[in-house]
Amino acid sequence: MNEFVICATRSMRDYASRVVSHLAKFSGFSGVGELFNGVDLLAADRFADGEMEVVVNSSIRGKDVILFTSSARNEAGISVEEAKIELYHAIDSLKRSQAAKIIVFEPFVSCSRSDRTIRRSSVGLWVHIKTLVSLGAQHIVTYQLHSDKSRSIVDPTICMIDDIPALTLLKRHLCDVYIQRIEKLENEVRSQWAFCSVDAGGEKLARGFANAFGAPLVVAHKQRDYSKSNSIMSINILSAEPIKGKVLWIVDDMVDTAGSAESLIRAFKPFEPKEVNLIAVHALFSPPAAQRLSALSAEGLLNRIMVTDTVCCPDTLLKQIPGLELIPSAELSARIIRAIITNASMNKLMRPFDAGMYLKSPSLFNE
């Protein structure tokens, strides 16, 4: 096992603490709590003019450092810009403190949608990754990047990237809470459920759910107005089977303003599905998402919303959005760290999910 320390920027200290609690339960990691210095290891100081400096408060020479961080909505209420600057300073301070390896664990990369190489437009993800790597990050871990091409930004000869499919957490939750028995999967889910993409680009995500549960796939093709952000002109719905009476699960990697989800859910109304649900990994919920989702729920058009905690969801949002279910990811993060620190394979964490296999032998997915 590599000698390591776990720390966090201010934006993810509580999350990192939960990860450590799970890590301590694994064989050989019982003393890992002593390695967590999330509060004390890194300190963000301010000069009188507002400039920042991050200080490492104890020796990390020769150790691998796992740095948890987030630039999205976070538990500390820090803005996107300030969180990024703190992250960059933190990596520089860790490098200057002679860390053997710096592993940046950023569950949600907030600039991941800025990945189009369009002339005269900056590419936010490229800027972010380039900055992390040039400062000294040697390994980046994240959940469900916005597109597969995003991984190609990172030069593997300089820095490794692990993009973990966090949708598996949501598939497992569906099995644990809403299916539970293999008989229900075979006799009800496969004939009465359907999984739908939020747009043509998200077909791969929805197809992954359809394949995992053996249920039909519905594809929504939306036409955007690219002169405006978060705007949609029209939606066409493609399905090989009738939608009437089915339980629909709309799948996406993130929910931002919920504009796409709202348009699609309203477009489904004439098809008379039994119920419509929304599944996403990253719960950005930028205004007016909460109002839109609440309105859909009040109108009886949206039954439940299932998301992970890769982005902080305060109690106010949980109370404001009816039917919102928050799926924790800290245990999965702990398993990832265990694999990295012990130089073990992460193949089990990356493999496609099969609901039938899981319902027959859940323990196989807890290795």
Contact (CB, 8 A) for 100 and 42: no
Question: What is the CATH classification number for the domain harbouring 291?
Answer: 3.40.50.2020
pLDDT at 342 over 60: yes
Q: Residue 362 domain-assigned?
A: no
Domain membership of residue 367 (yes or no) is no
Q: CA-CA distance, 267 to 248, in Å (whole number)? A: 13
State whether 271 and 258 are in the same domain. yes
Three-state secondary structure readout of 344-362? CCCHHHHCCCCHHHHHHCH
DSSP result, 206-267: HHHHHHHHT--EEEEEEEE-TTSTT-EEEEEEEESS--TT-EEEEEEEEESSSHHHHHHHHH
On whether residue 102 sits in a domain, the answer given is: yes
**Which regions of the chain does DSSP assign to beta strands (E)?**
4-8, 42-46, 52-56, 64-68, 101-105, 139-143, 160-164, 193-197, 217-224, 232-239, 247-255, 275-283, 304-308, 324-327
Report the alpha-carbon distance of residue 197 to residue 207 in Å, rounded: 8
Task: Note the maximum CA span of the chain.
Answer: 66
Antiparallel, parallel or unpaired: β 52-56 and 4-8: unpaired
Cα angle, residue 108 at apex, residues 256 and 307 outer, rounded to 5°: 55
In a domain, 355, yes or no: no
pTM, rounded to two decimals: 0.92
Average pLDDT for 240-247: 91
The residue-averaged pLDDT of 307-317 equals 95
Q: Are 68 and 108 in contact (CB under 8 A)?
A: no
Q: Are residues 171 and 315 in the same domain?
A: yes
Q: According to the model, what pLDDT value does residue 199 have? A: 82
Q: Is the pLDDT of residue 77 over 90?
A: yes
3-state secondary structure of 367: coil
Q: Are residues 324 and 193 in the same domain?
A: yes
Using alpha carbons, select from 358, 124, 173 the residue that is nearest to residue 281.
Answer: 173
Q: How far apart are CA 278 and CA 285, in angstroms?
A: 13
Residues 22-47: tens digit of each pLDDT? 998 888 887 666 555 555 789 999 99
- For the segment 259-276, the average pLDDT, to the nearest whole number, is 94
Q: How many CB atoms lie within 10 A of CB 88?
A: 19
Each residue's pLDDT tens digit, 279-311: 999 999 999 999 999 999 999 999 999 999 999
The domain of 71 spans 4-166+331-350
pLDDT at 317 over 80: yes
Dihedral sign of CA atoms 191, 193, 195, 198 in order: positive
303 and 184 in one domain? Answer: yes
**N-to-C CA span, the chain:** 18
Do 174 and 117 sit in the same domain of this protein?
no
Residue 344 domain flag: yes
Give the integer Cα–Cα distance in Å for 295 and 300.
9
In this structure, the answer to whether residues 157 and 28 fall within a common structural domain is: yes
Question: Is the same domain home to 50 and 190?
Answer: no
- The more confident residue out of 207 and 367 is 207
Q: How confident is the model at residue 348 (pLDDT cuts 50, 70, 90)?
A: confident
Query: Residue 261 and residue 19: Cα distance in Å, rounded?
Result: 31
Based on the fold, state whether residues 52 and 85 are members of the same structural domain: yes
- Name 192's Cβ contacts closer than 8 Å, sequence gap at least 6: 245, 246, 247, 274
Residue 128 carries which side chain, given as an amino acid letter? H
pLDDT tens column, 88-147: 999 999 999 999 999 999 999 999 989 887 778 899 999 999 999 999 999 999 999 988
Q: Is 281 inside a domain boundary?
A: yes
Does residue 149 sit in the same domain as residue 179? Answer: no
Cβ contact 218:195 at 8 Å: yes
For 200, the enclosing helix (H) or strand (E) is none
**DSSP letter assigned to residue 300:** T
Is the distance from CB of 250 to CB of 196 less than 8 angstroms? yes
Chain segment 176-229, per-residue pLDDT in tens: 999 999 999 999 999 999 999 988 778 999 999 999 999 999 998 766 554 555
363 located within any domain: no
Q: Comparing C-alpha atoms, which of 111, 264, 254 is closest to residue 199?
A: 264
Q: Total structural domains in the chain?
A: 2
Summarize the confidence of residues 1-20 as an average pLDDT.
Answer: 91
Residues 127 and 212 in one domain: no
Question: Quick one: which H or E segment has residue 106?
Answer: none
Residue 11 and residue 109: Cα distance in Å, rounded?
A: 13
The tokens 């790597």 sit on which residue?
133
Query: 196 and 149 in one domain?
Result: no
Q: Are 222 and 264 within one domain?
A: yes
Does any domain span residue 365? no
- H or E stretch including 127? helix 124-135
